[in-house]
Amino acid sequence: MLKCQHLVEKADALVDGSPISLRERLALRLHLMMCHHCRRYVRQLRALLGFLPRDKQPLEEAAIEDILKKLDTPQDQP
């Protein structure tokens, strides 16, 4: 039987429909039928992903550099 850790590693593919083999998809679904902890995990993952924007366009290099600069710059604390 599939272990919970394996399901956690593959849950995003199961939830967002990323390509995984039919055999693996069936193994994940079978595990979900038997494990209420993993069912809860997948339900929570789906709920979380429902709050995130679906825009899968990668950030431009300039935007990434700007974010990294802001993270490296110390901010004045009140």
Closest CA to 27 of 9, 40, 47, 41: 9
61 assigned to some structural domain: no
Question: Domain total for the chain?
Answer: 1
Average pLDDT estimate for 9-20? 87
Dihedral sign for Cα 50, 56, 60, 65, please.
positive
Q: How far apart are CA 44 and CA 42, in angstroms?
A: 5
pLDDT (tens digit per residue) in 20-37 = 999 999 999 999 999 999
43 assigned to some structural domain: yes
Write out the residue range of the structural domain in which residue 16 sits.
4-54
The answer to whether residue 57 scores a pLDDT higher than 60 is yes
28 half-sphere exposure, CB direction, 13 A CA radius: 20
74 assigned to some structural domain: no
62 assigned to some structural domain: no
